[in-house]
Amino acid sequence: MRWSVAARGSDADVGLVLSLYRESLALKSELDGLLHARSELARSSRSVDEEGRKKKTQSIETKSRLNELRERLYFEASKLPNWVHPEIPKRGEPPRIVREFGARPVFEGFEPLTHLELATEKNCIFFSHLCGGSKFYYGKGDVALLELALINWATTFVSSKYGFAPFTTPDLISHSYVEACGFQPRTEATQVYAVQDSELCLVGTQEIPLASFYSNQILPKSSLPIKMVGFGHCFRKETGSTSEARGLYRLHQFSKVEMFVLCRPEKAKKTHQELLDIQCELLQELGLHFRAIDMPSDDLGAPAYRKYDIETWMPYRDGYGEVTSCSNCLDYQSRRLNIRCRREEGTSPEFVHTLNATAVAVPRVILSILENFQLADGTVRVPEPLVPFMANKTHLFSQRNSSAHTPLYFTQ
């Protein structure tokens, strides 16, 4: 575990966790001794009122100390990340490209606009301070239809072709489930929004409610693998570079369709590759140029044992930008959520393994479509798979399909 912590550059303190654990064992032994002594005194026929009261006071005080120690132990232990796959790029090394598809777009005879310029010219995306910051947006007209089309298409594709059960997920969940999934809502560096005077947090990714759905359950052998695809909203305290401060790339709220799988431990590696295959197929269907990369150890989230990111070409960034991620979390989450399965009737249950993979992070795919599929006439080509989900509209912003409207003005 010390090696995994060092490989990630994590500030988790393995030594402190071990020290607190040993201290808690010693204190538990002391409490057991006091409770046993009280029990023996209660059985004694001689007068032991004073000694019994003394043991009772000591046991109450010891139990209180033990509870405080266990709470601190849990808090420090929750910072410990998962193991690290031995074959991934090491800390400080660049990601390793494992797949590529397509080529950067070539625009002949015209200068393409960024999605921000399109937002102004086409009156279709509005970034406002109505929600307390410019990292919230309104989609209007064709962009609103495009968002709904992406959600419906991705959910339908994954569920009908690969048998994932569709879910809609809540926007709020108890912070205990957020912590169990490997996120830290109670630390200063958290990206999670907590609801004031409440035990609830806004969901940062659909992975959390999907993973938590089966918490504290022993699953029958016949149920695995369990494959879910969930739609919902994500809320994050995103921070980023100046180039990401404006636009759709980094937002405080966005829509996402997420795949999540619970499987037997020996199936996790294969399942991880299958999820990556599905992600690549989705982006190939849309016709976007992308590359899949094996992320280095210091760029893994705490739950991930191994993580692939897929990046599409984004002209406004003059580079690639992440649109999906795909993580194998082993039994890191299932142990915390207590999700187990039995191999055979009468055998002891074991923890399942969990994996997650983005089907579509909606705003970043909208960004990619707007910037990569522009045409000289000012329209944007709709990827063919989305056309049936957009009332057969083949081009965004076409005069034939546009309607008169009053311009809206918001500050960026």
Burial of 409 (0-12, 13-18, 19+ CB in 10 A): exposed
- The C-alpha atoms of residue 265 and residue 277 are separated, in whole angstroms, by 20
Query: Which of 230, 203, 234 minimizes the C-alpha distance to 135?
Result: 234
- The C-alpha atoms of residue 331 and residue 303 are separated, in whole angstroms, by 9
Tell how far CA 293 is from the center of its chain: 18
Q: Are 275 and 307 in contact, with CB atoms under 8 Å apart?
A: no
Instruction: Specify the DSSP class assigned to residue 90.
Output: P
- Give buried/exposed letters for 138-157 (b at 16+ CB in 10 A, else e): ebbbbbebbbebbbbbbbeb
The residue type at 140:
K
Q: Catalytic one among 4, 59, 159, 325?
A: 325
Cis peptide bond N-terminal to 225, omega within 30: yes
Q: Catalytic one among 38, 78, 179, 236?
A: 236
Q: Among all chains, which residue has been given the structure tokens 């311009």?
A: 407
| 364 is an active site residue | yes
Tell me the CB-side half-sphere exposure of residue 117, using CA atoms within 13 A: 9
Q: Catalytic one among 327, 364, 368, 371?
A: 364
- DSSP per residue over 176-218, as a string? HHHHHTT--TTSTT----B-TTSSEEE-S-THHHHHHTTTTEE
- The C-alpha atoms of residue 75 and residue 70 are separated, in whole angstroms, by 8
Q: Catalytic one among 322, 350, 381, 402?
A: 322
| 236 is an active site residue | yes
- DSSP per residue over 293-318, as a string? EE--GGG--TT-SEEEEEEEEEGGGT
| 250 is an active site residue | yes
Handedness of CA 379, 380, 385, 386 (dihedral sign): negative
Instruction: Give the chain's end-to-end CA distance (angstroms, integer).
Output: 45
- The region, left, alpha or beta by phi > 0 then psi within -120 to 50, assigned to residue 132 is left
Q: Catalytic one among 250, 291, 306, 336?
A: 250
- The C-alpha atoms of residue 96 and residue 110 are separated, in whole angstroms, by 35
Query: What are phi and psi for residue 125, nearest 5 degrees?
Result: -135, 135
Catalytically active residues, by annotation: 236, 250, 322, 325, 364
